[in-house]
Structure 1
């Protein structure tokens, strides 16, 4: 993706296109699986952890990326669908955690089923993670 296209993608979500944000967005666009802050750090050798964390938080707040808690104790991030807005993620989909390669995948075609809550209960967050072995690991 060109720098101009990356800048437009950030500006569409009202995110100022700084050099670091462009690098992080480009990196996330190249990933097939969700990434942790540590993964990002390994691939951005000349960046500090705080800046990377703040970039991910900004992306999350602006509806550009969503966080995934897959049960491993490490938060991972993946880019959102175009329908996400600042502070409201509309791409509620299932995630898959491979217990073999330890990668987490977004399954955007598998929506999270509606949950009817009892009276007086208020939803704040919803997630669904399926755990098993991914296609790559079952073939290997």
Structure 2
């Protein structure tokens, strides 16, 4: 896995640092989106809050992770697919947040429909976030 992570960083013209490697490993091993606080809990002994924040911002800018807005105006982060690049996110899919367990899922098989905006408007990002009960909590 470390080789793959190093390749992702190098492909995005980023130095391979301990913080970038560790945070990217967290994303690759997670089955759901992560909040800054989640990453901080798992790496608190290694990296401070500012390092984590800067790493996440760099990953967003480079198209390595994308942001997911939440109802409480916080932000979650999820790993992008290979077709994202610096300044161009192509994660046009629905996100689902479970009201019970709080886990956020990327529903990559459900695309956000194309919405016609008025003439002169330019869309940069469209977010569709659904909430309810996930399959584990509904069982």
Name the TM-score, length of structure 2 as normaliser: 0.95
Per-residue deviation at 1:45?
2.1
Which residue number in structure 1 is paired with residue 81 of structure 2?
Answer: 81
Which residue number in structure 2 is paired with residue 64 of structure 1?
Answer: 64
Q: Quick one: distance in 1 between partners of 2:73 and 2:115?
A: 25
Q: Quick one: distance in 1 between partners of 2:93 and 2:13?
A: 24
Which residue number in structure 2 is paired with residue 39 of structure 1?
Answer: 38
Q: Quick one: distance in 1 between partners of 2:86 and 2:37?
A: 25
Per-residue deviation at 1:13?
2.0
Q: Quick one: distance in 1 between partners of 2:18 and 2:30?
A: 19
Q: Which runs of 5+ in 1 are unaligned?
A: none
Structure 1 segment 42-53 matched on structure 2, within 5 A: 42-46=41-45, 47-53=47-53
Moved more, 53-62 or 7-16: 7-16
How many residue pairs align between the two structures?
A: 138
Q: Quick one: distance in 2 between partners of 1:5 and 1:82?
A: 12
Per-residue deviation at 1:125?
2.1
Structure 1 moving runs of 4+ over 2 Å: none
SS at 2:136 equivalent: helix
Per-residue deviation at 1:120?
2.1
Q: Which runs of 5+ in 2 are unaligned?
A: none
Which residue number in structure 1 is paired with residue 54 of structure 2?
Answer: 54
Give the RMSD, CA atoms, in angstroms. 1.0
Q: Quick one: distance in 1 between partners of 2:31 and 2:4?
A: 20
